[in-house]
């Protein structure tokens, strides 16, 4: 790995820690983020030329805090020049010294809870989390979700403004606040993982930087809240799902469905860790959506081959999940499990109500699932038509190619 690439990875890892330290001191999220970005730019220019400093974290914090101090002094000078100093205007700026900056290991978690505050929309929370906590650039986030960079920039700006307007403080939420925000945090992490595991657009099936970041952050939340069944369930779900990643694509990046994967390529350690977490999560009283999804993933992962999959158990778990969630994707998977146990016609019957669900309007997955069940029922002409229709509705090249291949094989 080249020095430039090592520096890039190091800066991405350090960015949320430096931002947390800067926000904790200056209490201004937007200005701190700008200052940290300037520090990262300076490091990217200097470190490949002069070498990485002995304490890269401290170097970045000092540079960012000097930028903040300069900004504060400039603002005070401007206010003086304009003669509009009012009561409560900023006072003297604390000088920035070369002393070792304080490092708080919880800073990244504080940032995560701040970025996932319920006051923010899910879209804004995801963008801000990936930018501030995940270290991705605005351009990288925009590329991940196939939207213009300006759109992501606007989402991040609105999120920062919402944080400023709501007066959200930079501190680890107390137990009550954590309980209020935890649902938003887990939802954002789940969405980030899903986008990384099956990218919604582009030529690659995976965005491992997104899925790995979601797993890393969920591990951090689990360390903070080790007794939370929901957190353990989500982490288990991620590990059990991500364990199959190496087997999901062929030599050319083509999609390989679950029942055709080479299971010797699955990550057995991740499966063991996920199964242990899922078991512990299910034993902690109330069972939620993430625990049930993890249990379903565990049943799949523990089958030696596709034919050994315990579909009746999966169907029972989806039945429980249907009572907890109105997510139409759960309905789709429940229909598949029903078809595997009771035959394709039974599964097809469960798809009919989903035709009227606005959340699935234009979504390729409903057409793809119906095509799959029609294929199993022997109705190949109808399946071919729906496979082709589904292919036109996805922006993911691997998914599109897989659906077209399914149609071509049935048509041969």
Q: Which helix (H) or strand (E) holds 202?
A: strand 201-202
Own/partner pairs, 54-61, CB within 8 angstroms, 24+ separation: 55/100, 56/10, 56/14, 57/14, 57/17, 57/18, 57/101, 57/103, 58/100, 58/101, 60/11, 60/14, 60/18, 60/36, 61/18, 61/21, 61/22, 61/101
Question: What DSSP letter does each residue of 110-126 carry, written as one string?
Answer: HHHHHHT-TTS-HHHHH
Instruction: Write down the pLDDT at residue 162.
Output: 86
Instruction: Write down the pLDDT at residue 170.
Output: 73
106 Rama class: left (phi>0) / alpha (psi -120 to 50) / beta: alpha
Cα torsion for 234, 239, 240, 243, to the nearest 10°?
160
In whole angstroms, give the CA distance from residue 361 to residue 364: 9
Whether the CB-CB separation of 154 and 121 falls below 8 Å is answered with no
285 Rama class: left (phi>0) / alpha (psi -120 to 50) / beta: left
Sign of CA pseudo-dihedral 175, 180, 181, 184:
positive
Instruction: Write down the pLDDT at residue 84.
Output: 47
Instruction: Write down the pLDDT at residue 144.
Output: 62
What are the structure tokens assigned to 274, written together?
Answer: 């996920």
Give the total residue count for the chain.
412
Instruction: Write down the pLDDT at residue 318.
Output: 97
Instruction: Write down the pLDDT at residue 79.
Output: 57
In whole angstroms, give the CA distance from residue 69 to residue 21: 14
Sign of CA pseudo-dihedral 386, 387, 388, 393:
positive
Partners of 255 in the beta sheet? 249
In whole angstroms, give the CA distance from residue 164 to residue 162: 5
DSSP reduced 3-state for 92: coil
Question: To 5 degrees, how large is the angle CA 215–CA 337–CA 197?
Answer: 25
Cα torsion for 328, 333, 335, 340, to the nearest 10°?
180
How many separate helices (H) and strands (E) can be counted in the chain? 18, 2
Distances (CA, A) of 302 to 263, 266, 335: 10, 11, 22
- Show pLDDT as tens, one digit a residue, over the chain (412 residues): 566 767 877 887 788 888 888 888 887 888 888 898 899 899 989 998 889 898 998 899 999 988 888 876 666 655 555 544 454 544 444 444 444 445 455 677 888 888 888 788 888 888 888 888 876 778 777 766 767 889 999 999 888 888 878 777 777 778 888 888 888 889 889 988 998 899 887 888 998 888 988 898 899 899 988 999 999 999 999 999 999 999 999 999 999 999 999 999 999 999 999 999 999 998 877 789 999 999 999 999 999 999 999 999 999 999 999 999 888 999 999 999 999 999 999 999 999 999 999 888 888 999 999 999 999 999 999 999 999 999 999 989 999 999 999 999 998 8
pTM of the model: 0.78
Instruction: Write down the pLDDT at residue 31.
Output: 86
Instruction: Write down the pLDDT at residue 3.
Output: 62
Instruction: Write down the pLDDT at residue 91.
Output: 43
Cα torsion for 331, 336, 338, 343, to the nearest 10°?
140
What does residue 201 show for φ and ψ, rounded to 5 degrees?
A: -155, 155
């Amino acid at each position: 790995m080249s020095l430039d690439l090592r520096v890039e990875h190091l800066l991405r890892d350090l960015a949320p820690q430096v931002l947390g330290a800067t926000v904790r001191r200056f209490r201004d999220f937007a200005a701190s983020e700008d200052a940290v970005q300037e520090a990262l730019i300076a490091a990217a220019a200097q470190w490949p030329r002069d070498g990485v400093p002995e304490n890269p974290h401290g170097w970045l914090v000092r540079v960012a805090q000097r930028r903040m101090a300069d900004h504060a002094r400039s603002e005070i000078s401007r206010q003086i020049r304009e003669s509009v100093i009012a009561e409560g205007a900023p006072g003297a700026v604390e000088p920035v010294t070369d002393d070792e900056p304080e490092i708080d290991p919880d800073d990244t978690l504080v940032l995560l809870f701040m970025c996932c505050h319920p006051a923010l929309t899910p879209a804004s929370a995801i963008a801000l989390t990936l930018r501030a906590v995940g270290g991705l650039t605005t351009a990288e986030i925009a590329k991940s979700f196939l939207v213009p960079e300006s759109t992501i920039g606007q989402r991040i700006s609105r999120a920062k403004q919402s944080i400023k307007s709501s007066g959200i403080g930079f501190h680890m939420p107390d137990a009550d606040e954590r309980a209020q925000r935890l649902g938003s945090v887990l939802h954002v992490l789940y969405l980030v993982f899903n986008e990384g595991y099956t990218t919604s657009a582009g030529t690659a099936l995976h965005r491992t930087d997104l899925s790995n970041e979601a797993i890393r952050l969920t591990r951090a939340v689990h360390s903070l809240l080790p007794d939370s069944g929901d957190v353990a369930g989500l982490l288990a779900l991620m590990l059990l799902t991500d364990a199959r990643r190496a087997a999901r694509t062929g030599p050319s990046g083509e999609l390989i469905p679950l029942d055709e994967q080479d299971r010797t390529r699955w990550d057995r350690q991740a499966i063991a860790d996920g199964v242990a977490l899922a078991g512990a999560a299910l034993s902690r009283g109330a069972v939620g959506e993430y625990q049930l999804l993890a249990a379903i993933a565990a049943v799949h992962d523990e089958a030696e081959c596709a034919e050994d999959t315990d579909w009746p158990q999966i169907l029972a778990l989806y039945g429980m999940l249907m009572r907890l969630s109105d997510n139409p994707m759960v309905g789709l998977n429940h229909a598949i499990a029903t078809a595997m146990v009771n035959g394709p016609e039974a599964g097809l019957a469960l798809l009919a109500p989903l035709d009227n669900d606005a959340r699935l309007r234009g979504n390729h997955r409903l057409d793809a699932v119906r095509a799959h069940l029609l294929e199993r029922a022997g109705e190949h002409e109808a399946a071919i038509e729906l496979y082709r229709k589904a292919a036109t509705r996805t922006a993911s090249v691997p998914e599109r190619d897989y659906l077209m291949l399914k149609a071509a094989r049935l048509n041969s």
